[in-house]
Amino acid sequence: MEELKYDFSKIEKKWQKKYEELKVFESEPDPSKPKFFVTFPFPYMSGPVHLGTAYTLTRLDVIARYKRKRGFNVLFPFAFHWTGTTIAGISDRIRRGDQKTIEILEKMDGVPRDEIERFKDPVYLARYYTEKNRTALKDYGLAIDWRREFHTTSLNAGFSTFVRWQYLKLLEKGYIKKGVHPVVWCPRDKSPTGDHDRLSGEGVFPEKFYLVKFRLEESHLVAATFRPETVFGVTNVWVNPEATYAEAYVDGEKWIVSLETLEKLADQLRSVTKIRELKGRELVGKRVTTVFTGVKVPVLPASFVDPSIGTGIVYSVPAHAPYDYMALEDLKHDESLLREYGLDPEEIRSIKPISMITTEKYGSNPSEKVVKELGIKDQSDPKLEEATSLVYKEEFHKGVTLDNCGRFSNLPVQRAKELVIEEMKNNGAGDEILELPSPVVCRCGTRCRVKILSDQYLLAYSSPEWKAKALKALEMMKIYPKEARENFVYFINWYVDWAFTRTSGLGTPVPWLPDQMIETLSDSTVYMAYYIVSKYVNNGTLKPENLTEEFYDYVMLGKGVPEEIEKKTGVSSELFKKLKHEFDYWYPVDLRISGKDLIANHLTFYIFHHVAIFPEEKWPRQIAVNGFLRIEGQPMHKSKGIFISLRDAIEKYGSDATRITLLLAAEGLEDPNWESEKASRNIELLASIYRQVLSFLEECSSGENSHMEEWLRNSIRKRVKKVTEALEEMEIREATSEAIYGLRNDLRWYLRRVSKPDYKTLREAVETWLNLLYPFTPHLAEELWSKLGNNVLLANYPWPQVVEVDEKPLLIEKYLENLIEDAYQILKATGKTSITRLKIVIAAGWKNEAFKELIRKAKIEPANVREVIDLYASGVSREEIGRFIGQVMKNLPSMSREYKAVLERVLEVGEHKILSEAREFLEKEFKCDVEILDENEIPREEFNKIAGKKPPVQPGRPLLLME
RNA sequence: GCGGAGGUCGCCAAGCCUGGUCAAAGGCGCGAGGCUCAGGACCUCGUCCCGUAGGGGUUCGUGGGUUCAAAUCCCACCCUCCGCACCA
- Residue A622: other Cβ atoms inside 10 A: 17
At A343, is the secondary structure helix, strand, or coil?
Answer: coil
Give me the mean pLDDT over the A403-422 stretch: 86
> Among A404-418, A584-598, A884-898, where is mean pLDDT lowest?
A884-898
Question: Which residue type does A490 have?
Answer: Y
Ranking A5-14, A369-378, A604-613 by mean pLDDT, the lowest is A369-378
Q: Please give the pLDDT value at position A3.
A: 55
- Pick the closest to residue A623 from A666, A658, A663, A588 (CA basis): A588
CA of A899 to C1' of B14 (A): 21
User: Beta-carbon neighbour count of residue A615 at 10 Å?
Assistant: 11
Q: Using one digit for the tens of pLDDT, what is the confidence trace for A565-584? A: 888 888 899 998 999 999 99
Closest CA to A83 of A53, A57, A45: A45
Can you tell me the distance from the alpha carbon of A874 to that of A335, in angstroms, rounded to the nearest whole number? 110
Residue A892's pLDDT is 77
Contact partners, residue A211, CB within 8 Å, separation at least 6: A222, A223, A224, A225, A311, A430, A431, A432, A433
Q: At residue A499, what are phi and psi to the nearest 5 degrees?
A: -75, 125
Q: At what angle do helices A743-753 and A707-728 cross, to 10 degrees?
A: 170
pLDDT at A474 over 80: yes
- The answer to whether the CB of A51 falls within 8 A of the CB of A674 is yes
Residues 821-880 of chain A with CB under 7 A from strand B are: 821-822, 824-826, 828-831
pLDDT digits (tens, 9 = 90+) for A29-86: 999 999 999 999 999 999 999 998 999 999 999 999 999 999 999 999 999 999 988 8
Task: Kindly report, residue by residue over A274-316, the tens digit of the pLDDT.
Answer: 999 999 999 999 999 998 888 899 999 988 888 888 899 999 9
Q: Is the dihedral of CA A803, A809, A811, A817 positive or negative?
A: negative
pLDDT at position A858, please? 62
**Residues 72-111 of chain A in contact with strand B via CB under 7 angstroms:** 81, 83-86
- Give the dihedral of Cα atoms A117, A121, A123, A124; nearest 10 deg: -20
- Residue among A524, A474, A516, A512 at smallest CA distance from A499: A516
Q: C1' nearest to CA of A627: which nucleotide? A: B82
- Which stretch, A130-139, A364-373, A412-421, A563-572, has highest mean pLDDT? A130-139
Mean pLDDT score of chain A: 88
Q: Which amino acid is at A71?
A: G
Residues 933-962 of A with CB under 7 A from strand B: 950, 956-962
Long-range CB contacts for residues A807-811, cutoff 8 Å, separation at least 24: A807/A714, A807/A901, A807/A905, A808/A710, A808/A714, A808/A905, A809/A707, A809/A708, A809/A710, A809/A711, A809/A714, A809/A715, A810/A711, A810/A714, A810/A715, A810/A718, A811/A901, A811/A902, A811/A904, A811/A905, A811/A906
Instruction: Judge if the beta carbon of A512 is closer than 7 A to nucleic acid strand B.
Output: no
Interface confidence, given as ipTM, is 0.91
| Mean per-residue pLDDT, A907-916 | 87
C-alpha dihedral sign at A528, A531, A532, A534: positive
User: What's the whole-number mean pLDDT along residues A144-152?
Assistant: 96
Q: Is the pLDDT of residue A795 over 90?
A: yes
The DSSP code sequence of A182-237 is EEEEETTTTEE--GGGEEE-TT---EEEEEEEEEETTEEEEEEES-GGGGGG--EE
What residue spans of A22-156 are helical by DSSP H? Answer: 51-69, 86-95, 99-107, 113-118, 122-140
Average pLDDT of the residues in A479-504: 88
* Cis peptide, bond prior to residue A615, ω within 30 of zero: no
Q: How many Cα atoms occupy the beta-carbon half-sphere of A879 within 13 Å?
A: 2
Task: Please state whether strand B lies within 7 Å of residue A931 at its CB atom.
Answer: no
Please give residues of chain A from 368 to 387 whose alpha-adjacent beta carbon (CB) lies under 7 Å from any atom of strand B.
Answer: none
Cβ(A368)–Cβ(A325) below 8 Å: yes
- Give the CA dihedral A121, A126, A132, A138, nearest 10 degrees: -160
Q: What value does the CA radius of gyration of chain A take, rounded to a whole number of Å?
A: 39
- Exposed, middle or buried by CB within 10 Å (0-12, 13-18, 19+), for A460? buried
Distance from residue A376 (CA) to nucleotide B24 (C1'), in Å? Answer: 53
**pLDDT given at position A469:** 94
The answer to whether the CB of A483 falls within 8 A of the CB of A490 is no
Nearest to A697, CA basis, from A797, A756, A766, A792:
A766
Question: Picking from A86-100, A607-621, A855-869, A908-922, which range would have the lowest pLDDT averaged per residue?
Answer: A855-869
Interface residues 159-218 of A with strand B (CB < 7 Å): 181, 183-184, 192-197, 203, 205
Q: For A486-517, b where at least 16 C-beta lie within 10 A, e where not — what string?
A: ebbeebbeebebbbbbbebbbbbbbbeeeebb
Q: For A250 and B60, how far is CA from C1' in angstroms?
A: 65
For chain A residues 16-55, those near strand B by a CB cutoff of 7 A are 44, 46
Which residues in window 691-730 of A are less than 7 A from strand B by Cβ?
none
Please give the protein residue whose CA is closest to the C1' of the nucleotide B81. Answer: A671
The answer to whether A493 CB sits below 7 Å from nucleic acid chain B is: no
The share of chain A scoring above pLDDT 90, in percent, equals 42
State mean pLDDT over A657-672: 88
CA of A833 to C1' of B32 (A): 10
Three-state DSSP at A311 gives coil
Q: Return the minimum-mean-pLDDT range out of A336-345, A452-461, A880-889.
A: A880-889
- Does the N-terminal peptide bond of residue A307 adopt cis geometry, omega within 30 degrees of 0? no
Phi, psi of A451 (to 5 degrees): -130, 135
Round to whole Å and give the CA distance between A706 and A712: 10
Query: How sure is the predictor about A531, in pLDDT bands with cuts at 50, 70 and 90?
Result: very high
Beta bridge partners of A933: A841
Nucleotide nearest the Cα atom of A44 (by C1'): B88
**Which of the pair, A147 or A302, is modelled with greater confidence?**
A147
A930 in Cβ contact with A919 (< 8 Å): yes
Instruction: Give the separation between CA A915 and CA A145, rounded to whole angstroms.
Output: 56
The residues near A787 (Cβ < 8 Å, ≥ 6 apart) are A694
Nearest residue to A48 (alpha-carbon basis) of A118, A125, A146, A144: A125
HSE at residue A332, side-chain half, CA atoms within 13 A, is 16
Q: Distance (Å) from CA A491 to C1' B61?
A: 31
- The reply to whether the CB atom of residue A398 sits less than 7 A from any atom in nucleic acid chain B is no
With a cut of 90, say whether residue A808 has pLDDT above it: no
Q: Which strand (E) or helix (H) includes residue A451?
A: strand A449-459
CA–CA dist A460, A169 (Å, integer)? 14
Of all nucleotides, the one whose C1′ comes closest to residue A827's CA is B53
Element (H, E) at A583: helix A573-586
The Cβ-side half-sphere exposure at A193, using a 13 Å CA radius, reads 31
**Region of residue A443 (phi > 0: left; psi between -120 and 50: alpha; otherwise: beta):** alpha
Q: Which residues are bridge partners to A258 per DSSP?
A: A245
Show which positions of strand B are touched by protein (CB under 7 A): 3-6, 12-15, 20-21, 25-28, 41-47, 51-55, 68, 81-88
- A620 CB contact with strand B at below 7 Å: no
CA distance A747 to A713: 10
Q: Can you give the pLDDT at residue A2? A: 46
Q: What is the pTM of this model?
A: 0.86
Strand B contacts in A 437-476 (CB under 7 A): 461
| Mean pLDDT value of segment A803-831 | 87
* Nearest to A459, CA basis, from A123, A177, A773, A206: A177
Give pLDDT tens digits for A95-104.
988 888 898 8
Distance between the alpha carbon (CA) of A957 and the C1' atom of B18, Å: 28
| Helix residue ranges, H only, A318-444 | 322-332, 335-340, 345-349, 366-374, 383-398, 413-427
Q: Is the CB of A602 under 7 A from strand B?
A: yes
Burial class (CB in 10 A: 0-12, 13-18, 19+), A372: exposed
User: Residue A670: what pLDDT?
Assistant: 83
CA–C1' A678–B26 (A): 13
Residue A642: partners with Cβ closer than 8 Å, 6 or more residues away:
A631, A632, A634, A635, A636
Q: How confident is the model at residue A4 (pLDDT cuts 50, 70, 90)?
A: low
Number of Cβ within 10 Å of residue A284's Cβ equals 22
Which of A450-459, A686-695, A769-778, A865-874 reaches the highest mean pLDDT? Answer: A769-778
For residue A391, give the nearest of A412, A363, A417 by alpha carbon: A363
Instruction: Report pLDDT for A448.
Output: 85
**With contact defined as beta carbons under 8 Å apart, do A106 and A99 qualify?**
no
CB A300 within 8 A of CB A277: no
Query: For the segment A718-770, what is each residue's pLDDT rounded down to a tens digit?
Result: 999 999 999 998 889 889 988 998 898 898 889 888 878 888 888 899 999 99
CA of A685 to C1' of B28 (A): 14
| Residue–nucleotide distance: A632 CA to B12 C1' (Å) | 11
Quick one: which of A707, A900, A929 has its CA closest to A813? A707
Q: Among A316-320, A364-368, A509-513, A896-900, which is the least confidently predicted range? A: A896-900
Give yes or no for CB of A507 within 7 Å of strand B: no
C-beta neighbour count of A867 within 10 angstroms = 10
Work out the average pLDDT over A200-219.
83
The dihedral built from the CA positions of residue A197, A203, A208 and A212, taken in this order, carries a sign that is negative
**A903 CB less than 7 Å from any atom of strand B:** yes
**DSSP secondary structure code for residue A740 in this structure:** I
Q: Find the angle CA(A665)-CA(A666)-CA(A671) to the nearest 5 degrees.
A: 105
Query: Contact at 8 Å (CB) between A467 and A461?
Result: yes
pLDDT at A1 over 60: no
pLDDT of residue A149: 96
